[in-house]
Amino acid sequence: MTNNQQGSREISELLSKNLKDSPLKEVFTNFELRQKYQVALQQALDLTGFSHFSNDIFIGEMNDKGMIRLFTRQASIISRLKNKLPSLLHCFRESGFPVMEIQLKVLPKSNLETNLSSEEETKPDPIALSSSQFQSWEDLLRTTDPESPTYQAIELLLLNAKKVLKKPS
């Protein structure tokens, strides 16, 4: 018996004795079930040759109709796993889980990750517009409807172009 299975057994035993009618029993029971599904997922990934993704994929939503949702932060993993869904379903069923459907979802990046990636990426310095280019954009701005998004975009472009001109080199 592995440590994980032993720990699960101990939690179940404690719950059955001490928290028989407690709402916490359902929470711990769901946690144990999720852990069992995660172990089955790891085994399925091993059998399908995708064990190298085991740290990047985790069980999300599960329902009583046999649907589980797997989450990852990398869309490339999902595109690779789509072809292996029948094999994954088979592995879950062989492990004793009544899985009828597997959905794959990419998690959105968190604000923290977005800030980290934006700090890593350095934007190139903007190129200053020549006076004739600047004049052409100003002429276009005069002929564009002030209520249109195009007007706002040109206005922003000209504003940024002025900042570049004023920036000391």
Q: For domain 3-109, which CATH number applies: 1.25.10, 3.40.720, 2.40.30, 3.30.300?
A: 3.30.300
Number of C-beta neighbours around residue 11 at 10 A:
16
- Is residue 73 classed as helix, strand or coil in its secondary structure? coil
- Please report which residue ranges of the chain form alpha helices under DSSP H: 3-18, 23-47, 75-81, 85-94, 111-120, 131-143, 149-166
Write down the domain spans for the chain. 3-109, 131-166
CA distance 84 to 87: 5
- Is residue 108 classed as helix, strand or coil in its secondary structure? coil
Q: What confidence score (pLDDT) does residue 58 get?
A: 83
Q: What confidence score (pLDDT) does residue 165 get?
A: 62
| Confidence band for 126, pLDDT divided at 50, 70 and 90 | low
**pLDDT higher than 50, residue 25:** yes
List, for residues 48-104, the tens digit of each pLDDT value. 888 888 888 888 888 888 888 888 888 888 888 888 888 888 888 888 888 899 888
DSSP strand pairing (58-62 vs 67-72): antiparallel
Q: What confidence score (pLDDT) does residue 1 get?
A: 46
Q: Are 84 and 48 in contact (CB under 8 A)?
A: yes
